[in-house]
Structure 1
């Protein structure tokens, strides 16, 4: 019987908190601060990945242009390295989005409503949505959307710098050769190298421009009228 009583107490604890507005407000406040801290932690992990990408880029470009004898393909190795960091950051972004979406639920339906009760809550079933997410945490966005987001925000710019640097390195340091000949790597013809590089960047453009509905919750974006809107 004592075990049954303890089990019943644990089961009813949340229900009792739900009936007491003061205790529930305190618990929600602690939960919001916890989710905000976890969101900040994952945000810093995204920044760390970007920092490593920029650092590696700087080191590779410095070495590649330090001497005409250094092989040009080291810049393409940098492209592969930055692409790997893009994949890592996209996976981290999916985790970051989980906590960001919870924080936005709190902000839209608790904080905003407390400051301006006249407009009501943004989502009528926000407590059910948040409760389900706590019971069964799930990733909110696909890896495709995560990669697309990180490409648009920073990585396509980084990869474009590497591509332009590679083209400049190949043409400027070998003025007497045609582009296909200068782009060759060992026994691999330059035409094959150029085709591979072009295909890679073509895939990146497809990922960026491919039309799809945004699944990520509440990001600032510009509307067609040119105004910033929180709802991407």
Structure 2
């Protein structure tokens, strides 16, 4: 990596501008590819939940167990999507950085403002690439933007199954009995279900507050992250 004391360049020639344009195209391609992969894992989660709903509501006597087991698959898809999102966020941030600091100034008045050092930040990100967001932030973002609705439908469907099949419940004891899974008491299942939903809710809320604080701390309208 070059010495941090290197004098900042003030201009770019035509060949360098062309190289940056090609670099931008490459980053857009990578961002698009990883964005497609994000959609794929979300689709998998939706399809598996749909299958579980079909099985659980196929008849009044059908077991609600598939709606519990599908939660394992949803967690697997969610964690896979979080990993993919962290990669996607790197390419997206680089594209946005070049749009704001290279293309927008060039279109506006032709002054790239090289003295601001934006090119050094971009170069450092290529010299030492790192994730721009933590796993927990990425997890919260994916829950807020996609998996909140998947988890909500799963939870409402499970509760609805217990309440209406095979007949509407008449007391709490009946609810606990229906929630039981083999030797596991229904109270344990219900508590675990509540913790399941609460955990994802807390992570999503923490991520939202973290993003809000990051946005307030930024000196510019955009940043690498």
Q: Give the conservation status (yes or no) of the 8 Å contact 2:82–2:139.
A: yes
The equivalent residue for 1:30 is 22
- 1:68 deviation in Å? 2.8
Could you list the structure 1 runs, at least 4 aligned residues long, displaced by more than 4 angstroms after superposition. 118-123, 229-232
- 1:178 deviation in Å? 1.7
- 1:115 deviation in Å? 1.7
Match of 1:48 among 40, 62, 72: 40
Q: Give the conservation status (yes or no) of the 8 Å contact 1:72–1:170.
A: yes
Q: Give the root-mean-square deviation of aligned CA atoms.
A: 2.9
The equivalent residue for 2:182 is 186
Q: Give the conservation status (yes or no) of the 8 Å contact 1:35–1:102.
A: yes
- What do residues 156-187 of structure 1 show as CA deviations (whole Å, max 9, x unaligned)? 11011001001111111143562111100011
The equivalent residue for 2:164 is 172
- SS of aligned partner of 2:63: coil
1:39-188 correspondence runs (5 A): 39-117=31-109, 124-175=116-167, 178-188=174-184
The TM-score normalised by the length of structure 2 is 0.83
- 1:209 deviation in Å? 1.4
Task: Identify which of structures 1 and 2 has the higher relative contact order when contacts are C-alpha pairs closer than 8 Å and 6+ apart.
Answer: 2
Aligned residues: 207
Asked if 1:214 corresponds to 2:211, the answer is yes
Q: For structure 2, list consecutive stretches of 5 or more residues without a partner in the other structure.
A: 1-9, 216-220
Q: Give the conservation status (yes or no) of the 8 Å contact 1:50–1:85.
A: yes
Q: Aligned partners of 2:193, 2:11: CA distance in 1, in Å?
A: 62
- What do residues 2-31 of structure 1 show as CA deviations (whole Å, max 9, x unaligned)? xxxxxxxxxxxxxxxx97601101110110
Q: Give the conservation status (yes or no) of the 8 Å contact 1:49–1:89.
A: yes
Please identify, of 93-102 and 18-27, the stretch whose mean Cα deviation from structure 2 is larger: 18-27
Q: For structure 1, list consecutive stretches of 5 or more residues without a partner in the other structure.
A: 1-17, 219-228
Q: Aligned partners of 1:106, 1:20: CA distance in 2, in Å?
A: 14
The equivalent residue for 2:3 is none
- 1:67 deviation in Å? 2.0
- 1:117 deviation in Å? 2.5
- What do residues 75-116 of structure 1 show as CA deviations (whole Å, max 9, x unaligned)? 011122112111110110000000011101110011110121
The TM-score normalised by the length of structure 1 is 0.81
- 1:123 deviation in Å? 9.1
Q: Give the conservation status (yes or no) of the 8 Å contact 1:98–1:139.
A: yes
